[in-house]
Chains A and B, each alone.
Chain A
Amino acid sequence: MRAPKIIKEAVSSQESGTNTLSRRDFIAATAATGIAVGVGQSAMASPQVLTPHIEYPLPKAEPELFMGTAAGAMLAQLRAAGVRTLFHTNVSGNVPFYEAIEAAGDVQVINVTHEGQGVAAAAGFAMASKGLGFFFGGHIGTGNAMSNIYNAWKDRVPLLLCIGGALGGPSQGADGQEQWDNPNGPFQAFTTWTATLVPEAVTVLLRRAMKFAFGPPSGPVVLGGGTGGQEQVQAPIYKIDIATMRHKSRADAESIQKAAQWLVEAENPLFVVGAEVGVEGAYDEIVALAEKLSVPVTETAHSLYANFPNYHPLFLGELEAVRFPRKEDLLISFGESFTTTQTDPLRNVPVVHISHDPNTLGRPIALDLAILSEVRTAIRDLSDALDGMLTKDRMAKIRANRLAQVSALTAQLKQSREMALRARFDSSPLTWERVGYELEKVLDKDAVIVPEVGTQYYKVLRQLRLGGPNKQKIGRTVGQALGWGVAAAFGVNLALPERQIVALQGDGGFLFGQSETLWSIARYEAPMLVVIFNNHVYNESRDRNMQNGGHFYEEGKDFDGYLGDPNVEYTKIAEAYGLKGEKVTTAGELPAALQRSLKSMRDGKAVVLDVDIAPDGPVLSQGTWYQRHSIAEIRKKKLNTTA
């Protein structure tokens, strides 16, 4: 047997200029002598012989050293982590950073004209690329950015936001120009960490920030102090593999065995699949596990990704609406945080929650078994445990019996959906279902859908084949603060330039400051489709306010729902930004309009398709009422007259 390779001689304290030996050097020195530090006597008597693996070479311990401006060090560290796309909203003070960007030659700044839209675009980019979203801007845009930082925090998106502005120093307490104390304070509720970049530790802090961004829990990190500046520094550049930044854990065998045993014993188990399946890309694994025992699968409302094929015979739909099996006796959550779920459906049902995020386990709901693990790994472990517990024959019998029951139900539900589609198929204004039906006919099989629509969303999404090898879905943001969708879709398009990207956007949500993103879509020639579901009303809140009747329902008075006056021409907004706009008012117009849109997308130009949609919910007697007030009418003084 060979003796272990001699570790490079430790650097002496004299050579290093210090009077003490570092811990690393001490261990290296003792290892070279064959003495294992901190190990029992018996191990010392017989040192272990390591067999080298060719695919795991010993990494170089010393990082590269960068010498130059702090801004240059910052960019070098970002590039070493594979970050090449930087989202930005205009602010002064970043010239050294731009100089570094220009010198590098392989980094793209994406300008967005509103900080909130820039953050949403960075989030969409991160979600699609499974990497890090990076945004830099000014502290003066803090208010603008907050809404979509909150959304990213809810979605657990790894974002790094470098915010410039005055920090500390003599200006504290002065209430000077664009200055307030504690600039990082507003971010703290919606970030996993905030700190201030200092030139002498710019790459150390950046590396640490990335670690916090990925966690778990993953989420936005804000670094104040801008983009480094022009102070000269010597900074270590760490080689960072973003794919491994998120710490991965594995459950203990006992927990897996317990979960597997419960699954075998349960007569009516149910799975719920959540965002962590999408984050990890564990699609094949969860389908295989569900099929193993034909366990029906659900998702929660506004599930962030298409975590399970929605056309699969085992897929029931939303957990809250499930009526099969009649008496669930076990629920296993695979990476679902239950953020948007009311807990009623889970009363009296034993719950096993598998998550890679320790912050999520047991938080919204009480659990019978919490399993901290990469979801993909837990699925495989569970599958192996089942193989060990059940004979193939028994497994096949359970699978066949349950599949017959579940698929009979899902076939009927599909028939009901078809009846609902056909009931008003040719209606104008259009139904949500009709739009989904036509989209499914023409979109690429692997298109990516980015929805930001209200409680009617399932009507269009259930007409699309989502999940598995078919279309993916990113959105709606779990945070549900409006003003996210179009920018997120733009970020997705930047990350996935070869895919067809379709934003499904409610008219109400579009009016939450999203036209700014059309500027970026035009500037960077993102050939995406934005479908605006224009029902001229904030349908979700109107539905909620009116569903129990009452005085306002009887009189048809909705104080904040009706949007149709003015009747916004979204096509003209699109054209104002140099994009193509099409209006669809009847069901018969939609197929041809979609064909023209696809052609425009193939030619490289984005399209905004404004589709008239029928409002939903209880019919108001005055559906277009709003509390009228006209400044022009009430003024007594007539301006600019010659009389």
Chain B
Amino acid sequence: MHGRRKMNKILFILVCNLVLWIAAADLGSGLAAQVSASPSNDQQAQIEKGREAVGQTCAACHAGILRMAQAQKQTQEQWKDTIFSMIGRGAEILPDEIEPMSVFLAATSARSGPAGAQSGQTGGRGRQAAGRPDQQGPDAEGRAILQRTCQQCHDMATATTKVPSEDWSAVITKMMGYGAKLTPADQQKLIEYLNGLAK
């Protein structure tokens, strides 16, 4: 009996170790996955450059470029093909922006996009009409402005998050430098809306 108890204890320890070992292996691979999913600094710089270029060029004709990118789910090479196609159609994309834009769009495509489709408009040249502000209050107007302007390049989480030390006015001014088009009235409504979200 004493020997069996000792054997059970050893087995119990072995099993616990095995469980612990498996758990550790899982955690390790998860971390590894997280580390490999986090872009390097170079990649991040490319993504940011691509984001800026997309905002300045694609957004000129495609109000919902971010939604389009998420819906089309293309590889980087396919996006590069698309970029060349758009250059041919008149998009003013500089040579050193082609690669970063394809990286940004591919990264955007890789994220899960909004469910369902937005049907294209009839006639015209394929651009979606800018969304009309909801007539039911300032919050709705601010949200509509955010959707049609900020979400051309940013998902909702990114578009509504800022560094605590910055105020929204400065952020919006910076974004307009990147190509975001806002009237003074729109800017004010957007700032009020974003400040309201923080409360």
Chain A residues engaging chain B, CB cutoff 8 angstroms? 301, 316-318, 320-324, 326, 340, 342, 344-345, 347-348, 409, 412-413, 415-417, 419-421, 423-424, 431-433, 455-456, 458-459, 462, 540, 543-553, 616-619
In the assembled complex, which residues on chain B have CB atoms less than 8 Å from the CB atom of A617?
A: 85
- Are B117 and A320 in contact, CB atoms less than 8 angstroms apart? no
Contact of A459 among B64, B89, B120, B181 (CB under 8 A): B89
In the assembled complex, which residues on chain A have CB atoms less than 8 Å from the CB atom of B130?
A: 344
- Are A416 and B94 in contact, CB atoms less than 8 angstroms apart? yes
- Are A420 and B84 in contact, CB atoms less than 8 angstroms apart? yes
A521 to B117 Cα, complex, angstroms: 46
- Are B118 and A323 in contact, CB atoms less than 8 angstroms apart? no
Interface assignment of B91: CB less than 8 Å from any CB of chain A: yes
Which residue of B is nearest A549, CB measured? Answer: B71
Which residue of A is nearest B184, CB measured? Answer: A348
In the assembled complex, which residues on chain B have CB atoms less than 8 Å from the CB atom of A347?
A: 181, 183
In the assembled complex, which residues on chain B have CB atoms less than 8 Å from the CB atom of A416?
A: 87, 93-95, 98
Contact of B94 among A413, A421, A459 (CB under 8 A): A413
Chain B residues engaging chain A, CB cutoff 8 angstroms? 56-57, 60-62, 64, 67-68, 70-74, 78, 80-82, 84-85, 87-95, 98, 113, 116-121, 124-128, 130, 177, 179, 181, 183
Which residue of B is nearest A341, CB measured? Answer: B125
Contact of A433 among B68, B81, B88, B128 (CB under 8 A): B88
Give the 10 A-B CB pairs with smallest separation, nearest first.
Answer: A550-B117, A549-B71, A459-B88, A420-B84, A544-B120, A420-B87, A544-B126, A548-B118, A458-B90, A318-B90
- Are B61 and A321 in contact, CB atoms less than 8 angstroms apart? yes
- Are B183 and A348 in contact, CB atoms less than 8 angstroms apart? yes
In the assembled complex, which residues on chain B have CB atoms less than 8 Å from the CB atom of A321?
A: 57, 60-61, 90-92
- Are B68 and A420 in contact, CB atoms less than 8 angstroms apart? no
17 contacts between A and B (CB under 8 A): A321-B57, A322-B60, A324-B92, A344-B181, A409-B92, A419-B87, A419-B98, A420-B85, A456-B88, A543-B126, A544-B124, A547-B120, A548-B118, A549-B70, A550-B71, A553-B72, A619-B74
Extra inter-chain contacts (13) besides given A419-B84, A424-B84, A550-B71, CB under 8 Å? A322-B60, A322-B92, A323-B179, A413-B93, A421-B88, A424-B81, A456-B88, A544-B120, A547-B120, A548-B118, A548-B119, A553-B71, A553-B72
Q: With both chains docked as a complex, state the minimum distance between the C-beta of A338 and any C-beta of chain B, in angstroms.
A: 13
A415 to B84 Cα, complex, angstroms: 12
A344 to B56 Cα, complex, angstroms: 14
Which residue of B is nearest A619, CB measured? Answer: B78
Contact of A462 among B80, B88, B177 (CB under 8 A): B88
- Are B85 and A549 in contact, CB atoms less than 8 angstroms apart? no
Which residue of B is nearest A480, CB measured? Answer: B123
- Are B72 and A618 in contact, CB atoms less than 8 angstroms apart? yes
A547 to B124 Cα, complex, angstroms: 14
Q: With both chains docked as a complex, state the minimum distance between the C-beta of B111 and any C-beta of chain A, in angstroms.
A: 13
In the assembled complex, which residues on chain B have CB atoms less than 8 Å from the CB atom of A323?
A: 56-57, 60, 92, 179
Which residue of B is nearest A543, CB measured? Answer: B126
Known: A344-B130, A347-B183, A549-B72. A544 touches B121 (CB 8 A): yes
In the assembled complex, which residues on chain B have CB atoms less than 8 Å from the CB atom of A316?
A: 92
A342 to B91 Cα, complex, angstroms: 16
A552 to B73 Cα, complex, angstroms: 14
A316 to B57 Cα, complex, angstroms: 13
Q: With both chains docked as a complex, state the minimum distance between the C-beta of A32 and any C-beta of chain B, in angstroms.
A: 64
Q: With both chains docked as a complex, state the minimum distance between the C-beta of A408 and any C-beta of chain B, in angstroms.
A: 10
In the assembled complex, which residues on chain A have CB atoms less than 8 Å from the CB atom of B73?
A: 549
In the assembled complex, which residues on chain A have CB atoms less than 8 Å from the CB atom of B60?
A: 320-323, 345
Kindly name the residue among A348, A424, A544 whose own CB sees the greatest number of chain B CB atoms within 10 A: A544
